[in-house]
Amino acid sequence: MKTKALYGILFLIVLIAACGGSSSDGGGTSSSTYSLTGTVPGTLIEAYCDDGSYYSVKSTDNGTDRHPFDLELPKNLSCRVVLITNEENETTKVVTSIKLTDKDGNTSIVFTSSGEDIDLGFVDLPLSRSDMSSDSNGDGVEDFPLEVTVTDSAIVIVLKTDDPMDDDNDGIINVYEDDDGDGISNRDDDDDDNDGIKDIDDNDNDGDGINDNDLDHDGISNGQDKDDDNDGLPDKDDPDDDNDGINDDQDDDDDNDGISDANDDDEINDSDDDGIRDDYDTDNDNDGINNSGAYN
């Protein structure tokens, strides 16, 4: 429920106006972001980030086989990139996770930048499933990430031994795994664990009898997830956080975790209604000034 967030947004607008607006980096993005660029065949570029936020952009058809793209991402936020060809067709699309390697040989699917733009160069992707390197279960997701070497000094490779967005550490993020082995990736499967309960109503993603409190099954719990339903709209701007067809101002369970908002710690302890619990929120009144005491 979003009433408190409005005051924080209005305050932030006044603050920005008083400071003369935001500055821009050389890449043309605001000072809080950077551009991830490159060329690909016709492709959807997705980014899944540590705070649960989701970003995407489609490459621009320029009449060649190398379509440019420019994806704006927050600086100093660890993200993972997935590239998808034939993205409009669930039966023919090809999903390729990307593992990035820097000039020193550090490699990971997780990366960030302190603000300088990162150019991936040309990334050659399969355009059909028959061109895929390996797809053992036929879900259209490459079994292994594609390694891309980046010579830009701007890239910061993040080495994680325990990545909540990639539980089995195989380089394929959770949302593109196929948990029930039915040949449909979790992202497109409305019942990831095949327990007969639709994901939108299932709070136990892995069948262990414990409420996972993770609506979009991305590995980031709702209380730390800025985009509970992975629709690209931050929860603070999303009129329907859990995508259940009931607007949050009428929904008594905004994140669909089975706990009413009145009794849900994730809702009660979220002063600015941005979807991040106060104990994980570095700016829990949304005034543009970081507070101390947050876990991250």
Residue 129: what are its φ and ψ, rounded to 5°?
Answer: -65, -25
Cα separation of 152 and 170, whole Å?
A: 25
Grouped pLDDT means (10 residues each) for the chain, 296 residues: 42 39 39 95 97 97 97 98 96 97 97 97 97 97 98 94 95 95 93 86 73 80 85 84 65 65 63 59 66 57
Whether residue 270 lies inside any domain: the answer is no
**Full residue range of the structural domain in which residue 119 is found:** 33-176
Amino acid 198: pLDDT: 87
Measured between alpha carbons, how far is 292 from 290 in angstroms, rounded to an integer? 7
pLDDT of residue 106: 97
In-domain check, residue 105: yes
Residues belonging to the chain: 296
CB 123 within 8 A of CB 45: no
Residue reference for tokens 């593992």: 99
Does a structural domain hold residue 20?
Answer: no
Domain assignment present for 141? yes
> Measured over all CA atoms, what is the biggest interatomic distance in the chain, rounded to whole angstroms?
57
Residue 104 burial by Cβ neighbours in a 10 Å radius (0-12, 13-18, 19+): exposed
Q: How crowded is residue 71: how many other Cβ atoms within 10 Å of its Cβ?
A: 22
SS3 state of residue 119: strand
Number of domains forming the structure of the chain: 1
pLDDT tens-place string over residues 183-220: 999 999 998 888 898 888 887 766 667 777 778 778 88
Alpha-helical regions (H) of the chain: 3-18, 265-268
Q: Is residue 86 part of a domain?
A: yes
Structure confidence at residue 84 (pLDDT): 98
CA distances from 156 to 34, 40, 113, 150, 242 (A): 13, 22, 6, 10, 33
Q: What pLDDT is recorded for position 264? A: 64
Q: Give domain status of residue 277, yes or no.
A: no
In a domain, 107, yes or no: yes
Strand partners, 74: 33
Predicted pLDDT at 265 = 64
In a domain? residue 40 = yes
> Rounded CA gap, 40 and 62, in Å?
11
295/268 Cα distance (integer angstroms): 18
pLDDT at position 275 is 55
